Amino acid sequence: MKKILSVTQFLLNGLRKHENIRCLHTGYISHQKQFVLTKDRYPHIKRGNYTELNDNHVKFFKDLLGSDRVLTDPNDVQPYNTDWIKMVCGYSRIVLKPKTTEEISNILKFCNKEKLAVCPQGGNTGLVGGSVPVFDEIVLSMSLMNKIININELSGTLVCEAGCVLETLDQELEKHNLMMPLDLGAKGSCQIGGNISTNAGGLRFLRYGSLQGNVLGVEVVLANGEVLDCLNVLKKDNTGFHLRHLFIGSEGTLGIVTKAALQCPPRPKSIILAFLGVEDFESVLSTLKLAKEQLSETLSSCELIDAPSLDAVNKYLGIKSPIDEFPFYVLIETSGSDVNHDEEKLNVFLDKAMTRGIVIDGIVTNEPSKMQNIWQLRERIAEALLHTGAVYKYDVSLPVQHFYEIVPLLQNELKDTSATVVTGYGHIGDGNLHVNIAAEEYDQDLVNNVIEPFVFKWVSEKKGSISAEHGIGLKKTEFLHYSKTPEAISLMKKLKNLFDPSGILNPYKVLPLH
C-alpha cells in the first residue's frame, strides 16, 4: 500500500504539474495556471473538527472497493481537487469511485463512524465551488455509477444511476424518440446526479420547467449509510411529504443521490433556430414579449448574448457570428411536431418583429450543423471567458424589466480596476442573467470590497435572487441572507442537523458558517 503523504508533500506533488483548463467541447486547452488553495483564498473558513485520513482508513476503502477504485496518487487526485474555473482548490488525498449503492452505503457508514468529511462529486462542472473539497475531505466520485436502468417509451420515463452523463442520457433517449428535459453547455461532462443536486436550469427551462418538476423519484444514501428509496416513477403521487424535493438542489449536503427517475418529453420532429441582432435592451424585451405571444407552445428557448460575450467567443474560440455586429443578440428556438406549422408561426413572428423595427437583422435555420454552430455562440461563452485569466461569475434572477441594468452599472463601477471585461448573457426567457467579470488575474480584494457588496445588494433591492441556477456552493454561503429569511436559514440548519448530525456531507457548503 502506498504511504499517505504529508499535506506539504502531497500539495507539491499534485500541484507541480502544468494545469489544463478543461474544455467541454474540444478536449483540453493547455493553459498554465497558478493555484491558490481555498484555505488561503478564504482564510475565514476554518477546518472543522474532522478526523484526518490515515493508513487504516485507506485500507478499509481498498478492501471495500479494490485498489483500482481508490485513488491516492497526488497526480491522480489533483483534478478532483480543483473546480472547472480553477478558483477553488482543496487538498484531499483520496478519491473513492464506488459502483453500487451498497458500496456508497458502506462508505458513508464508515465515514460517519470515523467522522471523516466527504465531498460528493459528479462531473465537476459546478460553478460555485461546491463540487471540490475545501480542505482534505474525501472525494466521492460518482462517475462509475453510470448505468441506465430503464427507459419506458410509453410513459416517457427514464430511470438511471446518478453518474450518467447528461449528453449520454439524451443520446440514449433519442433512440426512443424521447429527450432529456434539460440541456446545458456542460452536457458532455455533467452528470444527472450533479444536475439534480444543483437543480440545474439550462437552455430549455422556459419550455420544460425545472428539475423539481421533472424528477419523479430519487434513491439517496444518507449520511449514516441508510438507503432512502424514493425512486417513484409515477407522474402523480401525493402521499405525504415530497421528500425527493429536499435532495433536488441541496448540493450534496443532505445525502448522496444514487439513482433517479425522470419524466422525458417526446423528441421534437421539427426544430428551428433564429439568431437575431437588436439595437438596444428595450428591443430585446419587445422581442421576448412578441416571441411568447406569437410562438406560444412552439417556443423552446429564448437566450440573450451581449456584444462583449460574443466578442469573447469570437476572440478566444475563433467562432464567427453569422450576422453583423449588434449590441445584443437574441437566440430563439422553436420545437414542435410539424415543420410547416412551426415555420409559419416563426415567419409571422419575424415579419412583425422586423416591420416594427424591433429586430434589425438575423438568420434562421433548421439545418442541424448550422444550428449547432449558432448554439456554440451561446453555450461556449463561459469557456471563452476563461481564457482571459480569471472570471468572477454571478448568476442572478431578476424581474425581467431590470434584467440588464446591472451590467452597465458594473462596467462603470469597475472601469478603473483590474477588471477587463464585464459581460451579461443568459436565460432571458426565465429572467436569469449571467454576469461575468473577466480580469487577467484574480483579485480577492476587488471581489470582497467592490464586486460582491455591489452585486448582491443591487440584486436584493430589485427583489431578485443571488442564485438563479448554479446554487450556493462554497462561494455564496455568506450571502444567503440576501435571498432567504433568518427563519428559513434556521430551518435549513435544523434539517441539515437532522439528516447529517455529524456534518460529514459536503461541509462548508450552502449554509452560512455562523
Chain residues binding ligand 2HG by CB under 6 A are: 127, 185, 381-382, 393, 395, 426, 434, 436
From candidates 186, 284, 410, 435, binder to ligand FAD by CB under 6 A: 186
Residue of closest CB approach to ligand FAD:
194
Question: In angstroms, what CA-CA distances link 482 with 461, 485, 486, 512?
Answer: 9, 8, 10, 12
Residues of span 455-494 touching ligand FAD by CB under 6 A: 469-470
257 binds, among ligand 2HG, ligand FAD, none (CB under 5 to 8 A by kind): ligand FAD
C-alpha cell at 503: 456534518
Q: Within positions 492 to 511, which residues make up the interface with ligand FAD, using CB under 6 A?
A: 506, 509
**DSSP conformational letter for 502:** T
Residue nearer to ligand FAD on the CB measure, 103 or 383: 383
Please give the DSSP secondary-structure letter assigned to residue 89. Answer: B
Could you tell me if 448 and 433 are in contact, meaning their C-beta atoms sit under 8 angstroms apart? no
Residue among 89, 139, 200, 358 that touches ligand FAD (CB under 6 A): 200
CB-based closest residue to ligand 2HG: 382
Q: How far is CA 454 from CA 281, 409, 447, in A?
A: 22, 10, 10
CB of 507 to ligand 2HG, least distance (A): 25
Residue type at 31 in one-letter notation: H
Number of residues engaging ligand FAD in binding (CB under 6 A): 38
CB crowding 435-460: b at 16 or more within 10 Å, else e: bbbbbeebbeebbeebbbeebbebbb
Dist CA 54 CA 291 (whole Å): 60
Binding mask 372-391 for ligand FAD (x = CB under 6 A): ----------xx--------
Residue 171, exposed/middle/buried by CB under 10 A (0-12, 13-18, 19+)? exposed
Radius of gyration of the chain (CA): 23
Which residue, 349 or 375, is less far from ligand 2HG as judged by CB? 375
Check residue 116 for interaction with ligand FAD (CB under 6 A). no
- Under the binding rule (CB under 6 A), the answer on residue 143 touching ligand FAD is no
Closest CB to ligand 2HG among 185 and 277?
Answer: 185
Cα 88 from Cα 339, distance rounded (Å) = 46
Task: Name the one range near ligand FAD by CB under 6 A: 64-72, 194-202, 314-322, 351-359.
Answer: 194-202
Which is it for the CA torsion 335, 337, 341, 343, positive or negative?
positive
Q: In this complex, which beta carbon is closest to ligand 2HG, that of residue 57 or of residue 470? A: 470
Crossing angle between the packed helical segments 406-413 and 452-461, to the nearest 10 degrees: 150
Binding mask 246-265 for ligand FAD (x = CB under 6 A): -----xx---xx--------
**Interface residues toward ligand FAD, by CB under 6 A:** 24, 84, 119-127, 130-131, 142, 162, 184-186, 190-191, 193-195, 197-198, 200-202, 251-252, 256-257, 382-383, 469-470, 506, 509
